[in-house]
A and B are shown apart, each in its own frame.
Chain A
C-alpha cells in the first residue's frame, strides 16, 4: 500500500517559536494532502486541505496565518505552526488520498506530537 511519512515524530519547543512539520508521500504522488489535529481523547479534526501548486483550503476556525501550509511538490507538504503556544500542543497527522482507490481511501502519516512549553 501507499506510504506516507512525517517528520519529526515528536517535537518539544518553547512558547513563541515556530515549528515545521513535513509530510511526504513516499511511493506515490499526492496533489492533495490533508492536515488533521487530534487533542487527547478527542477525534481527528481536519485543519486544512493542502493543494500542490496553490493555496491551502482551511476549515472554519483554523487560522491560516498561524498554520502555514506549503505544498511545493507532488510528494511534500509542510505545516508550520507559527508562534506556538501551549494550547497548540497536540498530535498533528497528515494524510494523502490513494488516487487509484475507488473508495476514497486515504493513507495516514505516523503523526507528529507537538509539545509547547
Chain B
C-alpha cells in the first residue's frame, strides 16, 4: 500500500462546479500536510497547507481528519484555470521529507 494515496482521476467538471478530492495517508506519524498544484511540465506550487482545524483560502478549503487519516480539498466555483494536477503531500514529524501522492488530475470544461 502506498503511503499517500489519491484517485488519479481525471475529474472532468464544468465551469462553476464544486469538486472535492480526498487523499489518504498510512503513516500515523505524519504531522504536516499540504496540497500542491502542478501544471503540465512544471514544478509543484504550494496551494495550501492543511491544518487540523481546517482552513480556507478563497474558493479552496482543506480539511484534515486524523482519526481516519485523510485530507481533503474542496474547490468551489471551478475556473478553467483550475485545470491541473493536485498533489497531496504528507511530511512525518521532525522531517522535511515530503511524501507525495500520485496526484489527481482536474479538467474544468467550458
Contact = CB atoms under 8 A, between A and B. Distances in A.
Contacts of A105: 34, 46, 49
A32 interface: yes
A113 interface: yes
Given A42-B102, A43-B103, A44-B87, A106 B41 contact: no
B34 A113 contact: no
B49 A108 contact: no
Interface string B44-62: 1110010000000000000
Most chain B beta-carbon contacts within 10 A, residue among A32, A42, A43, A106: A43
A113 B41 CA distance: 8
Contact of B98 (A42, A91, A106, A113): A106
A46 B44 CA distance: 14
A115 to B, nearest CB: 12
A104 interface: yes
Contact of A43 (B41, B42, B45, B101): B101
A49 to B, nearest CB: 7
Interface in B26-74: 31-32, 34, 41-46, 49
In this complex, the interface size class of chain A, counting residues with CB under 8 Å from chain B, is 20 to 34
Given A44-B44, A110-B42, 20 more contacts: A34-B96, A36-B100, A44-B87, A44-B98, A44-B100, A46-B99, A97-B96, A103-B32, A103-B34, A103-B49, A104-B32, A104-B91, A104-B96, A105-B34, A106-B98, A108-B43, A108-B45, A109-B43, A110-B43, A111-B43
Interface of A: 32, 34, 36, 42-46, 49, 91, 93, 95, 97, 103-106, 108-111, 113
Interface of B: 31-32, 34, 41-46, 49, 87, 91, 95-103
14 contacts: A32-B96, A36-B100, A43-B102, A44-B44, A44-B98, A44-B100, A46-B99, A97-B96, A103-B32, A105-B49, A109-B43, A110-B42, A110-B43, A111-B43
